Chain A
Amino acid sequence: MKNLIQITIIVTVGMFLHSYGYTQEHTAKVIINDSLKNAIDLEGVVIIGDSTSAKTEDFKPVEGQRTDEIIEDLQGVNIIRRGNYAAEPTFRGMSSGQLSMTIDGMKIFGACTDKMDPVSSYVSSNNLESITVSSNNNNACQGSNIGGGFDFQTKQAQFSSHKEISGSAGIGYQTNGNGRLADFNLNYGDSAWALNLNANYQKFDNYKAGGGQTIKYTQFEKVNFALSSSWMPSNTQIFKAQFIYDDAYNVGYPALPMDVSFAGGRIYSLSYKKYLPNSTLFLKAYGNNITHIMDDTKREFVPMHMDMPGKSDTYGAFAKSEFNIGEKHHILINPDYYYNVSFADMKMYPNDPNRPEEPVMYMITWPDVRRHSGSLMIQDRFTINPQTELKYSGKIEYVTSKVFSEFGIQQLEVIGKDGTIPSTYILGNGNAILTYQLNHSTQLFGQLGYAERQPTVSEGFGYYLYNSMDGFDYIGIPDLKKETALKSSIGLNWKKNKTVLETKIYHYQFQDYIIGIIDSTYDGMTIGSNGVKVYENIPSASISGFEVKVHTTLFKTIRFQNQTQFTYGVDHESNPLQMIPPLQNSSKLGYSYKQIKFQLEAVVAAMQNNPRLDAGETTTPSYGIVNISGHAPIKLLQQPTSISIAVNNLFDSNYWDHLDWNSVPRPGRSFIVNLRMRF
């Protein structure tokens, strides 16, 4: 009923409100300009979408890719796989609380205590316009964090000079896992109104790893609807409403002892953008309700049946205003507020035949934590001279979290903490990037920043959260210190004719790095667990690495891209940090003739022989895989149609990445076919 009301409201409001499709183009362009041409923020890169030559679509011509497959392709990005669904993105060895993840600038916090529902899982790939990955924590609309973050920009309703209905429909099939995919997009646009409806459906059975072994519990089913509407009452203002409805069912997680029977996201927003002479004003209010239900009813051997539902509701609003001061200063002001409620609990069903009367065991794993955050960010893009630009920004955030469950407060007593006292943090973030155009083809940049973040709900309040990677139950500590980092990067970009070289080196020096440390005074709660880890601030840690990307075009029709990334992370005792990807290299060779495209891709990862042993990591062998894909237009029913054919993991390698939990092998060879009709 509640959902129905939400839908009704969104639809009604959507009738006279409006998307910033036009705006979106602007932002996207700005970022593209920044990153590839003017290199204002070289750390911000935009991928996928259409029209620009540098976009990934040209390189990976397959339709019907999944969101996490697209993310994994980005430089500096790796994914943590726990199953075949909703992999968790990491950036330069940093994850969850260290990154911010937003959809169209909206803060969304997963409802799963085991991070099985990253924000990326609520955007379907065909609704994804672009992804911004930024190492700059002061990037507008991102919460205070260390490693920057991801913003997923969804497809916006497009205006048209005359009344126009357009869209596309696609169906696809993947042999490995019997994957069935279907998507649909419909856009109506006139000069004042626009409406976009997007739908996506995916269903997979268990896939087979390289060599033919079936990996159990890798099935999932997912449906995603997105409605976006825009209204432009005049040339200078746009209203927009959006609604995303995402449901996933029967999602298997082979790396975990439990699966997910249901995961649902309801995401909605209203926004307004006003263009004034020399300035713009953008306002947005949003909300989202995330539900995540874990259970193990489909598992064959469980010592005890358990349910772990979780809920996360977030409501927020932000404003962004951009204006120029004089000729040289471009200012962005971004006040932001959000409110989040996280609740998760756990029921354990005893099964001792001698004690049939034994009641269900119950505990709360996220004790109704309510978090308010208010922040103000100011950024100045200062053009010092035609060759030199300085972009600097500062952000201050006040964030307070309090436990509202009486039961949860009692649980905190057990670990000797007073849950009635709110956890409050004042977070300061600052960042500066200097870009210098050395000559026509060479550009240098240097970035220096200071970042602070508050602990996540799990780090602050989680209660015996089982991590199946290291086999420990994790307990959060409400009075953890904030994690801070000094971050720096330098880079060089070189461009001549059709060859582009981008290189960067980065270093993050952490203080009070938050990590789980074994505490032998506690008893593991989960049956078979290795014990308990308590979140602590360790004095220091560091992450450093480099990224190199070369891109060139030969004979107009052949393109080559090579990308290398390396990350190295150690704690204060020089032990390796967990979830640090090994040296990786990917090459893409693309050929395009008219509208026919063909691509050969090779991904190689070195062995990771620096595992963090107490995090359950083991040495991961190196691997290499080859993917091929092709894309061709055809004519079907008088409509422009395209067909994509691909073979993933051509040589059926049996492999897993260092970040894949419990070394569950990834899918073996899969033939993929996708048919798309546009109208």
Chain B
Amino acid sequence: MKNFKYITFLLFSIVAFTLGSCKKETTEPTPPTDPFADLTYIGETQAVGAGAIVKIYAEEALFVGYNRIYVALYDSANPQTQLTDAHVTFNPMMDMGMMQHSCPFENPSTTVETNTKAFKGSVVFIMPTTATGSWMLNVKVHNHANGEHGMASLAINVVEKSEPKLITFISDFDNKKLFVTLIEPTEPKVGINNITFGIYEKQSMMDFPAVDGYMMEMEPEMPSMGHGSPNNVNPVSKGNGLYTGAVNFTMTGYWKINLDFKTINGDTIKLDQFFDVTFQ
């Protein structure tokens, strides 16, 4: 009889537990969120002549390295109306008094992003804002709504990250000045990480085209323990100066990603370059 009670109790507990865990999942309507909530607001200005307000967003405060830039256009006459039919081009400029130079960049595509309805491009800043040099992000807008052209110039601040995302060297092969930026992973984790680099060359003070077709050899290393990691995939050229591969981190902490650059024929461009990646 006692056993019967126990069994009954046990059955009840199981039933109660099962019912408890079968609670229906209610799907509440999600309130509309600001599409720019995840982005960092950089600044805004008028594109004089195009009848547009230019608002600039980025994924984080602008830094030396590869920055994704979002350009949102609004009608000057009716600032609530976002303009989605336009052509936007960049011309970032560093003014150092005696001289000026630009940096590598990729103009936004002609169509807007679905979520933000902004034009997305990228700029690789090659030096930080300093006391003697300041960056200006020039954005040329061709507003298809009214057919007008205009230019917006926004003074911006570019910082150097504590862990640099850009390295610069002279090619041993052809003496070109090259810029290599670590684009991904932005949030490194233990496990497999997609890794993306951008390679650009300096042809003139104003011209920094992307370089494709190089070979990269990558070897991650944990300097304080002297070990690497298995199953990494060397980045390969994907066009537009981008190189993608995979890097494995076996644990959290400070990693050094060692890189060798070679031409397609195996001639050495530069050896023993590296990026530091620290995460917890």
Contacts and interface: CB of A to CB of B under 8 A. Distances in A.
Given A361-B222, A363-B190, A527-B225, A414 B231 contact: yes
A361 B251 contact: yes
Interface string A395-421: 000000000000101111111100000
Given A358-B224, A525-B225, A350 B192 contact: no
Q: How large is the interface on B (under 10, 10 to 19, 20 to 34, 35 or more residues)?
A: 20 to 34
Contacts of B190: 363, 407, 410-411, 414
Interface in A431-485: 463-464
Given A359-B280, A410-B190, A523-B229, A350 B252 contact: no
Nearest to A346: B251
Contacts of B43: none
A363 B190 CA distance: 8
Interface string B210-233: 000000000000111111111100
A361 B251 CA distance: 6
Contacts of B226: 527
Given A358-B224, A358-B278, A414-B230, A525 B250 contact: yes
Contacts of B192: 410, 413-414
A523 B230 contact: yes
Interface range on chain A: under 10, 10 to 19, 20 to 34, or 35 or more? 20 to 34
B225 A348 contact: yes
A336 to B, nearest CB: 19
B46 interface: no
A406 to B, nearest CB: 9
Contact of B224 (A350, A407, A463): A350
A304 B254 CA distance: 14
Interface string A343-382: 0001010111001001111110000000000000000000
Nearest to B162: A357
B225 A414 contact: no
A524 interface: yes
B248 interface: yes
Interface string B170-212: 0000000000000000000111100000000000000000000
Contacts of A525: 225, 227, 250-251
A524 B228 CA distance: 8
A523 B229 CA distance: 6
B253 A361 contact: yes
A360 B227 CA distance: 16
Contacts of B249: 414
B253 A348 contact: yes
A364 to B, nearest CB: 8
Given A350-B254, A358-B253, A362-B253, A415 B231 contact: yes
Interface centre among A362, A407, A409, A410 (most CB of B within 10 A): A410
A522 interface: yes
Given A352-B224, A358-B224, A360-B280, A414 B229 contact: yes
B253 A359 contact: yes
Interface in B241-274: 248-254
Nearest to B231: A416
B227 A414 contact: no
A523 B253 contact: no
A478 to B, nearest CB: 15
Which of B251, B253, B254, B278 gathers most chain A CB within 10 Å? B251
Interface in A514-531: 521-527
Contacts of A355: 224, 254
Interface in A129-167: none
Nearest to A409: B191
Interface string A11-44: 0000000000000000000000000000000000
B250 A363 contact: yes
Contact of A413 (B191, B223, B254, B280): B191
Which 9 A-B pairs give the minimum distances between C-beta atoms?
A: A410-B191, A361-B253, A363-B251, A350-B224, A523-B228, A413-B191, A414-B248, A362-B252, A413-B192
30 contacts: A346-B251, A348-B225, A348-B251, A350-B253, A350-B254, A352-B223, A355-B224, A355-B254, A358-B254, A358-B278, A359-B254, A360-B253, A361-B222, A361-B253, A363-B251, A411-B191, A411-B250, A412-B191, A413-B191, A413-B192, A414-B190, A414-B191, A414-B192, A414-B248, A414-B250, A521-B230, A525-B225, A525-B250, A526-B225, A527-B226
